A and B are shown apart, each in its own frame.
Chain A
Amino acid sequence: MPSKKELLDLQFIDVRHKLIDIAAFLDRIDRHPGELDHRYEALKNALPILLTDRPDRASAVLESFSDHTTTMTQSAPFQGTSGAFKH
């Protein structure tokens, strides 16, 4: 199993790139006109999870985007997914 240093050597540049992409996306959203929707709110709610010390951040982020309701409809009122549950 690689050490922390070896993982940083392997993946830091890639993760740095992805983090800057997220920052640039937030800047881009701010700069452009129009209304936001539930996906932006879900993204903002997920970001603080990254700064916690819990060992299951990936799972927690996925759960934050998830539908936690227990009701079922007979058939689908719409098709497709947005990536974030609309409360």
Chain B
Amino acid sequence: MKYIEPHGHMISRTTDDYEKLALSGCEAVCEPAFWAGFDRASAAGFYDYFRQLTDYEPKRAAKYGIKHYSWLCINPKEADDPGFAREVMSIIPQFLDCPTVLGIGEIGLNKNTRNELAIFEEHVQLALDRGLPILIHTPHLEDKLKGTRLILDSLASFSNLDRGKVIIDHVEEHTISHVLDAGYWAGMTLYPESKCSPHRAIDMLEVYGTERLWINSACDWGYSDPLAVPRCALEMKKRQHSAEAITQIIYHNPRRFLSQSPRFI
């Protein structure tokens, strides 16, 4: 079984995890820029982070035959300080031509503030100026519904946005139809305690179809499972989904979306 992990924060994982991914059939992993679990003290911290994402991490993955790609941005949480965020954003263009950078992400909202929204919109404009795909994070738990609505309202104001080049991640049952109905791709994140379980993600596949959906582990420094995607594939098999349907959601769909970047090979 081959699959693509379209959202994994591998800098937070051990090399052992790369071996597990490889043994499970993972061909490529895509890593969006995110919050490190603490606020960086300076923009220079992000410079080193972007070097890690674009240089070191692809080499670490390659040792296990896995292609590593990245998305760049300042994450929504640290974007609540707009002065700092703009300083970080001034660094990003010099990394956008790196051969494994796919686009802008994971941008979005965290606590649904005006500061976060302003920086979100500046990121969207940067992606539009460069013709890049966009990966969007939606807020956690009780903030998700409101944040998803705010993000959709904001995106609607960009008249030249190709909605097929935007994926809105971490959808759940109360947000998925908002995202799909508006013409965007949607990502379902499989977490042990929050976001989706494999059972619930499969329910949503059964209800909404597989046209513009992917599943991911979003494994990071928190309680998460780098093998969540193949585990979900196993649950799909138990629920009598065909091998073709499973391959569609864990391989062909992420490949179709990600191939909108010419760098995804």
Report whether over half of chain A's contact residues are helix, strand or loop; otherwise say mixed. Answer: loop
Chain B contacts for A83, CB-based, 8 A: 141-142
Is B142 a contact of A65 with CB atoms below 8 Å? Answer: yes
Return chain B residues, CB-CB under 8 Å to A72: 112-114, 117, 150
Contact B77 A79 (CB under 8 A): yes
Let me know if A69 is at the binding interface, CB within 8 A.
yes
Q: Is B203 touching A2 in the complex (CB atoms < 8 A)?
A: no
How many residues on chain A are close to B (CB under 8 Å)?
30
Collect the chain A residues with CB atoms within 8 Å of residue B40's CB.
none
A82 touches B142 (CB 8 A): yes
A50 adjacent to chain B (CB < 8 Å):
no
Q: How far is the CA of A7 from the CA of B206 in the complex (A)?
A: 14
- Cα distance A13–B96 in the bound complex, in angstroms: 50
In the complex, the answer to whether A76 meets B113 with C-beta atoms within 8 Å is yes
Rounded to whole angstroms, the CA-CA distance of A83 and B113 in the bound complex is 18
Q: Which residues in chain A, 1-20, are within 8 Å of chain B measured between CB atoms? A: 1-2, 6-7, 10-11
In the bound assembly, the distance between CA atoms of A63 and B150 in angstroms comes to: 16
Residues of B near A52 (CB, < 8 A) are none
B240 close to A66 (CB less than 8 A): no
Q: Which residue of A lies closest to B81 (CB)?
A: A75
Q: Interface 1/0s, chain B 31-57, versus A by CB < 8 A?
A: 000000000000000000000000000
Find out whether the CB atom of A79 lies under 8 angstroms from the CB atom of B145: no
Which residues of chain B in 62-116 are interfacial with respect to chain A, using CB atoms and an 8 Å cutoff? 77, 80-81, 110-116
Residue-wise, chain A 60-87 has the 8 Å CB interface mask toward B (1 for contact) of 1011011111101111101101111100
**What chain B residues lie within 8 Å of A62 (beta carbons)?**
144-145, 172-174
Contact B206 A1 (CB under 8 A): yes
CB contact between B111 and one of A58, A60, A66, A79 (< 8 Å): that residue: A79
Q: Is B143 an interface residue when CB atoms closer than 8 A count as contact?
A: yes
Q: How far is the CA of A75 from the CA of B33 in the complex (A)?
A: 21
**Would you give the shortest CB distance from B257 to chain A, in whole angstroms?**
24
- A27 within 8 A of partner (CB): no
Interface residues of B in 108-144 (CB under 8 A from A): 110-117, 139-144
Specify which chain B residues have a CB less than 8 angstroms from the CB of A10 in the assembled complex: 238-239
| B256 interface residue (CB < 8 Å to A) | no
Q: Which residues of A contact B203 (CB under 8 A)?
A: 58
Q: How far is the CA of A7 from the CA of B240 in the complex (A)?
A: 11
Nearest B residue to A3 via CB reads B240
Known A10-B238, A75-B113; contact A66-B174, beta-carbon cutoff 8 A = yes
Contact B145 A73 (CB under 8 A): no
**Which of A65, A72, A74 has the largest count of B CB atoms less than 10 A from its CB?**
A72
Instruction: Report the minimal beta-carbon distance from B34 to chain A, rounded to whole angstroms.
Output: 15
A76 contacts B173, C-beta separation under 8 Å: no
15 interchain pairs (CB within 8 A)? A11-B199, A56-B173, A58-B173, A59-B172, A59-B174, A62-B145, A66-B144, A66-B146, A68-B145, A68-B146, A72-B112, A72-B117, A73-B114, A75-B115, A83-B141
Contacts A60-B174, A66-B145, A79-B110 aside, 10 further interface pairs with beta carbons under 8 A come to: A56-B173, A62-B174, A63-B145, A68-B145, A73-B111, A75-B113, A81-B141, A81-B142, A84-B141, A84-B142
